[in-house]
């Protein structure tokens, strides 16, 4: 069958996007998803996202990593699917949608998408790092010489060594200013460094505030794929009103022959 797809990117974190409102996609086909995400034999992407109907909100997001398996929340994917829903004329400038971690509100203006993330009530302090869940699990670690750091090698070591089978995404951080951080992320399920990770930069912003590295509740993050901003409120017990904001763009669209 001919499968129509749309390719999106948000700060270089890229996704195959499929309109699955008519239930056309074989959702349990791990091989098919990993083939579509393959950069040499398929379309190429860090993940695949289905846009589906939802009973109570504008649409539902179903996220797969490039390994072909459904996973936890994807922040950049969440921003991209809002741009996709706008392209499909399902939503205008404000929307609410359902994802694996619950309800998300979002805004869209001139290609910039703001996405409200789930509240974070726990940040675990470890010897050289912090661990928190922003919809997906994240290890956050400050390192020297981030530019030349071997993110793949060190990320893989920690992802399996510290977090076992379940794993975690691993974020390496360098402070660039009072409210600005450089971030490089090793992503679980991609098993490599990606150009940017939305739940990851959200985790970094909160972790840096929690550990006193910044006093600002608007944090600028520089990733290899571009710039993001994370705003939040510290409520004493944790963080709420967390908004991740940055660009999300349609790159190209097409059709691909797949076995039905």
Ligand X SMILES: N[C@@H](CCC[C@H](N)C(=O)O)C(=O)O
Among 9, 129, 136, 245, binds ligand X (CB under 6 A): 136
In this complex, which beta carbon is closest to ligand X, that of residue 89 or of residue 165?
165
Quick check: is 80 catalytic?
A: no
In the complex, what is the shortest distance from the CB of residue 76 to ligand X, in angstroms, rounded to a whole number?
Answer: 3
Q: Which of these is catalytic: 85, 197, 203, 230?
A: 197
Span near ligand X by CB under 6 A; candidates 26-34, 67-75, 89-97, 102-110:
67-75
Asked if residue 259 belongs to a known ligand binding site, the reply is: no
In the complex, what is the shortest distance from the CB of residue 2 to ligand X, in angstroms, rounded to a whole number?
Answer: 28
Quick check: is 74 catalytic?
A: yes
- Indicate whether 75 belongs to the interface with ligand X (CB under 6 A): yes
Among 9, 13, 86, 141, binds ligand X (CB under 6 A): 13
Asked if residue 110 belongs to a known ligand binding site, the reply is: no
Question: Which positions from 173 through 232 interact with ligand X, judged by CB under 6 A?
Answer: 187-190, 194, 197-200
In the complex, what is the shortest distance from the CB of residue 48 to ligand X, in angstroms, rounded to a whole number?
Answer: 11
Within 13 A of 190's CA, how many CA atoms are on the CB side?
26
What is the rounded distance in angstroms from the CA atom of residue 178 to the CA atom of residue 259?
53
In the complex, what is the shortest distance from the CB of residue 67 to ligand X, in angstroms, rounded to a whole number?
Answer: 9
Among 9, 34, 65, 133, binds ligand X (CB under 6 A): 65
In this complex, which beta carbon is closest to ligand X, that of residue 86 or of residue 194?
194
- Indicate whether 141 belongs to the interface with ligand X (CB under 6 A): no
Q: Which of these is catalytic: 62, 74, 98, 203?
A: 74
Structure tokens at 251: 């790159």
Handedness of CA 101, 197, 138, 132 (dihedral sign): negative
- Indicate whether 14 belongs to the interface with ligand X (CB under 6 A): no
Where does this chain bind ligand X (CB under 6 A)? 13, 65, 71-72, 74-77, 136, 169, 187-190, 194, 197-200
Catalytic residue set: 74, 197
């Amino acid at each position: 069958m001919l499968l129509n797809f749309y390719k999106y990117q948000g700060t270089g974190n890229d996704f195959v996007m499929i309109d699955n409102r008519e239930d056309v996609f074989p959702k349990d086909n791990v091989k098919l998803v990993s083939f579509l995400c393959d950069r040499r034999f398929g379309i190429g992407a860090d993940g695949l996202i289905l846009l589906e109907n939802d009973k109570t909100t504008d649409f539902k997001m179903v996220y797969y990593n490039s390994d072909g398996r459904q996973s936890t929340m994807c922040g950049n994917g969440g921003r991209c699917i809002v741009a996709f829903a706008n392209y499909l004329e399902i939503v205008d400038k404000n929307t609410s949608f359902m994802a694996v971690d619950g309800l998300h509100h979002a805004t869209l203006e001139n290609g910039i998408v703001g996405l409200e993330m789930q509240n974070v009530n726990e940040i675990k302090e470890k010897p050289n790092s912090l661990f928190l869940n922003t919809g997906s699990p994240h290890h956050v670690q400050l390192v020297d010489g981030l530019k030349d750091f071997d993110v793949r090698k060190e990320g893989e070591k920690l992802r399996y060594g510290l977090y076992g089978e379940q794993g975690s995404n691993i974020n390496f951080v360098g402070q660039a200013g009072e409210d600005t951080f450089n971030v490089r992320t090793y992503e679980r399920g991609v098993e490599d460094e990606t150009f940017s990770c939305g739940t990851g930069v959200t985790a970094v912003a909160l972790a840096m505030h929690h550990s006193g590295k910044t006093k600002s509740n608007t944090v600028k993050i520089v990733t290899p794929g571009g710039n993001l901003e994370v705003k939040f409120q510290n409520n004493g017990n944790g963080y709420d009103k967390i908004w991740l904001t940055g660009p999300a763009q349609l790159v190209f669209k097409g059709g691909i022959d797949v076995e039905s």
